[in-house]
């Protein structure tokens, strides 16, 4: 403090305006004695003159001067823009005047009395000190104002607003710029409330915003969040809010404060750049860069899901010619239309890209077999080859597609694209409008399957399917106790095809449902026909596939067929494999109970090859086990197989189930099985599967074996 007072003195020049020269000199001497520098003026004019060159730190002003009053001088000083503190000196002991002087801005006033010179130094010192303090305050305020203006200006330029939120009271403060960013006039609305603000936020981003705000308030978590907001003017903005949290000693958030930056323009620019980098400008489809990325992702996903990725490489046939004869403008429009058509063929999760002039690529994800890929490819080729109308021209085009499949044809982007490209050239060589898998085995497999699938659809319509029947014999009596219906397909080119070659395909395509129904109906009608012809009634065994058995209304379908054919349910037996039942044990049990309830008998086919879960068997309402011919075949030479068959037979007896041995081809086999208490058999020894007419003959004449 002492030091600052000393400073005040050292720098201070004091102007004494006083017409009484002797008094002025006394005053001046006293001040200089105390370390001040004093200058003097004897009237108003002289004082103003001096003030135009020198600015004193303090003025000691005599109220009554010859040319003007002290008040008038002060007015002039103020008018010239100076603000110098002053002490008024007056000869009259007049309190009123003193008050008036203090009102006009005097820092102090002193009476010209005997104590004047004693009081003077202290009064001067105090005034100077006060003035110094006031000045410092003014400067601080000024610089604060300046930095606030600067901040506001910076915020405006940066489109950044600041805010504060008191989670305890809910009070929210917004800076002017924040109001502007959100499209409001500063201060309107006066009371910003959290719920009101949340309503401005894009609905999809609200949960994230609420979460951030909650964890700021509850766990003192700072956050940085990008979200979308609808401004008052209806503009869609993207903003980035960053927040800091002040917490008390108990970890309660006292104040959350932060900035909000309008990044709409930046995001838009970024999007535009992304668009340029990743998309083709003509068709707006992903370009080669993005394609690589998408294939890479698809591979990663497929590796996790153990699935395939189909990479298709499509090149339009004759595009060059069209471009040259009809012009680039038409060429561009053609490409755009093709892009649109292609888009319609692929799913949202697939990628369609344009990778060059008339070259496109399609990435098929989530596929588990080549047939699906081939089917989509065929669809694409059909769509492309439909005529396109552009500017009055009817344009016919077609495409050649090469296909590479992950993981068989390559495990990385580069290899897959290269192989798809090679395959495309092969397709092109075969006259275009064609597709080609990269690997030849796949081509053959797919081609065969597709041919088969196509002709299978027709087989049903053209009645190319037929049934053979194989007798089931009770070796104790030698009589026929049942028949198994076995499906055959008379293919126009390939001749008669056995079920092992086409049932799986019928399963995959769903064709097994109508085919299976046809088998059931035909078998039931045949069984009833034999009954009507007067032959002793016998079981008709029909095989059911997994998909058929999985149908919810299977019982209704069968009931309808029984009704229609007139066959009593007691004479129908359904053969189901263990693996079919185990696919969905719970619903299987329910269906088995329903079928048993109808009076139908149930057999487990190929027993021994599947789970052979004996304990499980108890829970299934079944009548019969059919021992798979794999075991039966070797029982004489292979003691293990013999043991298994013996166990199955004795277990079946314990569970009060019937047993039928399949694939009995020789007499020794029959004798072995008979000696082990298995009397019911089926196999070539008795009869191969034969036509209904041949069975009729057998029924008339009896079996010879
Ligand atoms: P499965 O039900 O086990 O039928 C017995 C198969 O063994 C038949 O083959 C039959 O011809 C053959 N077989 C019978 N006795 C002998 C023998 O002594 N030695 C040898 N080596 N084989 C014998 P098929 O007709 O080729 O049928 C094969 C499988 O196809 C059947 O096995 C059955 O699972 C399935 N299947 C047949 N018809 C149908 C049908 O209509 N629907 C369904 N879903 N599957 C069927
Ligand atoms: Mg069978
Ligand atoms: Mg079998």
Does pLDDT of 683 surpass 90?
yes
Does pLDDT of 442 surpass 70?
no
Range 129-154 average pLDDT: 83
pLDDT tens digits for range 389-425: 998 888 988 999 999 999 999 999 999 999 999 899 8
pLDDT tens digits for range 448-468: 777 787 888 888 888 899 999
Q: Give the residue with greater pLDDT, 250 vs 627.
A: 627
* Residue minimizing CA distance to atom 34 of ligand 1: 543
pLDDT tens digits for range 342-390: 998 888 899 999 998 899 999 999 998 888 899 999 999 999 999 999 9
Does pLDDT of 6 surpass 50?
no
* Residue minimizing CA distance to atom 12 of ligand 1: 663
Atom number of ligand 1 nearest to Cα 685:
18
Three-state SS at 17: strand
Does pLDDT of 635 surpass 80?
yes
Report the alpha-carbon distance of residue 175 to residue 326 in Å, rounded: 61
Q: What is the pLDDT of residue 483?
A: 97
| Residue 493 φ then ψ, to 5° | -105, -35
Compute, in angstroms, the gap from residue 504 CA to the centroid of ligand 1.
14
Q: Identify the weakest region by mean pLDDT among 334-343, 455-464, 510-519.
A: 455-464
Three-state SS at 372: helix
Q: Tell me if 608 CB under 6 Å of ligand 1.
A: no
Q: Tell me if 487 CB under 6 Å of ligand 1.
A: yes
Range 181-209 average pLDDT: 91
pLDDT tens digits for range 589-612: 999 999 999 999 999 998 877 665
Range 293-318 average pLDDT: 94
Range 171-183 average pLDDT: 93
Q: Give the residue with greater pLDDT, 35 vs 450.
A: 35
Residues 6+ apart with CB under 8 A from 141: none
Compute, in angstroms, the gap from residue 661 CA to the centroid of ligand 3.
9
Three-state SS at 589: helix
Does pLDDT of 646 surpass 80?
yes
Q: Tell me if 410 CB under 6 Å of ligand 1.
A: no
Q: Tell me if 518 CB under 6 Å of ligand 1.
A: no
As a whole number, the mean pLDDT across the chain is 89
Query: Cβ atoms within 10 A of the Cβ of 522, count?
Result: 19
Range 157-179 average pLDDT: 91
* Residue minimizing CA distance to atom 16 of ligand 1: 663
DSSP states of 646-690: HHHHHHHHHTT-EEEE----SHHHHHHHHHTT--EE-STTT---B
Residue with tokens 């009704």: 563
Report the alpha-carbon distance of residue 343 to residue 350 in Å, rounded: 10
Contact 442, 420 (CB under 8 A): no
Q: What is the pLDDT of residue 143?
A: 82
Range 286-303 average pLDDT: 95
Does pLDDT of 549 surpass 90?
yes
Cα–Cα distances (Å) from 558 to 143, 522, 537, in that order, read: 95, 12, 19
Residue 314 buriedness (CB in 10 A; 0-12 / 13-18 / 19+): buried
Ligand nearest to the CA of 544: 1
Q: Tell me if 658 CB under 6 Å of ligand 1.
A: no
Question: What percentage of the chain has pLDDT greater than the value 70?
Answer: 96
pLDDT band for position 155 (cuts 50, 70, 90): confident
Q: Identify the weakest region by mean pLDDT among 85-89, 140-144, 333-337, 549-553.
A: 140-144
Q: Tell me if 575 CB under 6 Å of ligand 1.
A: yes
Residue to substitute in 543, 607, 660 for testing ligand 1 pocket (most ligand atoms within 8 angstroms of CB) = 543
Report the alpha-carbon distance of residue 294 to residue 704 in Å, rounded: 68
pLDDT band for position 5 (cuts 50, 70, 90): very low
Contact 311, 417 (CB under 8 A): yes
Range 101-116 average pLDDT: 80
Q: Tell me if 108 CB under 6 Å of ligand 1.
A: no
Compute, in angstroms, the gap from residue 604 CA to the centroid of ligand 2.
9
Q: What is the pLDDT of residue 95?
A: 64
Compute, in angstroms, the gap from residue 486 CA to the centroid of ligand 1.
6
Q: Give the residue with greater pLDDT, 673 vs 4.
A: 673
Atom number of ligand 1 nearest to Cα 499:
30
Q: What is the pLDDT of residue 65?
A: 82
Contact 370, 362 (CB under 8 A): no
């Amino acid at each position: 403090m002492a030091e600052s007072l000393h400073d005040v003195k050292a720098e201070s020049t004091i102007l004494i305006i006083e017409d009484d020269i002797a008094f002025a000199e006394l005053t001046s001497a006293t001040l200089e004695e105390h370390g001040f520098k004093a200058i003097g003026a004897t009237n108003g004019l002289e004082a103003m003159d001096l003030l135009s060159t020198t600015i004193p730190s303090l003025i000691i002003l005599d109220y009554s001067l010859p040319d003007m009053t002290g008040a008038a001088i002060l007015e002039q000083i103020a008018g010239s823009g100076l603000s110098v503190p002053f002490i008024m000196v007056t000869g009259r002991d007049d309190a009123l005047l003193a008050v008036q002087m203090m009102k006009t801005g005097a820092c102090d006033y002193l009476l010209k009395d005997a104590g004047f010179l004693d009081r003077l130094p202290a009064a001067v010192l105090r005034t100077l000190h006060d003035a110094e303090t006031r000045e410092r305050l003014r400067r601080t305020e000024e610089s604060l104002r300046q930095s606030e203006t600067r901040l506001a200006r910076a915020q405006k330029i940066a489109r950044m607003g600041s805010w504060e939120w008191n989670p305890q009271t809910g009070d929210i403060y917004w800076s002017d710029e924040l109001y502007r960013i959100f499209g409001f006039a500063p201060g309107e609305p006066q009371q910003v409330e959290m719920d009101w603000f949340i309503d401005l936020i894009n609905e999809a981003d609200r949960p994230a915003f609420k979460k951030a705000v909650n964890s700021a308030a509850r766990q003192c978590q700072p956050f940085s969040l990008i979200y979308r907001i609808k401004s008052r003017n209806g503009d869609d903005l993207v903003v980035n809010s960053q927040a800091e949290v002040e917490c008390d000693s108990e970890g309660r958030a006292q104040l959350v404060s932060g900035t909000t930056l309008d990044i709409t323009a930046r995001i838009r620019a970024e999007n535009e750049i992304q668009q340029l980098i990743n998309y083709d400008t003509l068709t707006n489809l992903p370009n080669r860069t993005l394609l690589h990325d998408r294939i890479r992702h698809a591979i990663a996903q497929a590796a996790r899901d153990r699935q395939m990725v189909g990479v298709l490489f499509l090149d339009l046939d004759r595009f060059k010619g069209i471009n040259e004869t009809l012009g680039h403008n038409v060429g561009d429009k053609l490409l755009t239309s093709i892009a649109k058509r292609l888009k319609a063929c692929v799913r949202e999760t697939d990628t369609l890209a344009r990778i060059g002039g008339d070259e496109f690529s399609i990435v098929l994800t989530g596929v588990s077999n080549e047939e699906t890929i081939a089917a989509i490819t065929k669809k694409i080729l059909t769509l492309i080859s439909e005529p396109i109308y552009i500017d009055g021209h009817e344009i016919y085009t077609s495409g050649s597609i090469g296909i590479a499949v992950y993981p068989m044809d390559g495990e990385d982007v580069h290899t897959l694209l290269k192989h798809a490209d090679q395959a495309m050239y092969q397709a092109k060589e075969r006259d275009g409008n064609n597709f080609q898998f990269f690997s030849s085995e796949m081509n053959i497999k797919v081609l065969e399957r597709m041919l088969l699938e196509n002709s299978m659809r027709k087989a049903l319509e053209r009645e190319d399917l037929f049934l053979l029947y194989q007798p089931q014999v009770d070796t104790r009596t030698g009589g026929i106790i049942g028949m198994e219906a076995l499906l055959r397909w008379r293919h126009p080119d390939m001749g008669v095809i056995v079920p092992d070659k086409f049932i799986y395909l019928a399963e995959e395509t769903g064709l097994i449902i109508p085919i299976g129904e046809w088998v059931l109906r035909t078998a039931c009608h045949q069984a009833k026909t034999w009954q009507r012809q007067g032959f002793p009634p016998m079981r008709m065994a029909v095989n059911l596939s997994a998909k058929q058995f999985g149908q919810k209304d299977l019982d209704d379908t069968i009931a309808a067929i029984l009704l229609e054919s007139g066959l009593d349910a007691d004479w129908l037996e359904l053969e189901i494999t263990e693996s079919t039942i185990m696919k969905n044990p719970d619903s299987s049990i329910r269906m088995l109970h329903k079928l048993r309830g109808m009076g139908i008998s149930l057999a487990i086919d190929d027993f021994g090859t599947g789970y052979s879960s004996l304990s499980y068997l108890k829970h299934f309402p079944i009548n019969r086990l059919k021992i798979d011919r794999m075991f039966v075949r070797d029982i004489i030479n292979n003691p293990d197989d013999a043991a298994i068959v013996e166990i199955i037979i004795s277990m079946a007896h314990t569970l009060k189930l019937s047993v039928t041995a399949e694939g009995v081809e020789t007499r020794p086999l029959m004798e072995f099985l008979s000696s082990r208490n298995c009397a019911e058999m089926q196999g070539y020894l008795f009869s191969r599967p034969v036509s209904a007419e041949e069975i009729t003959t057998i029924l008339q004449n009896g079996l010879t074996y």
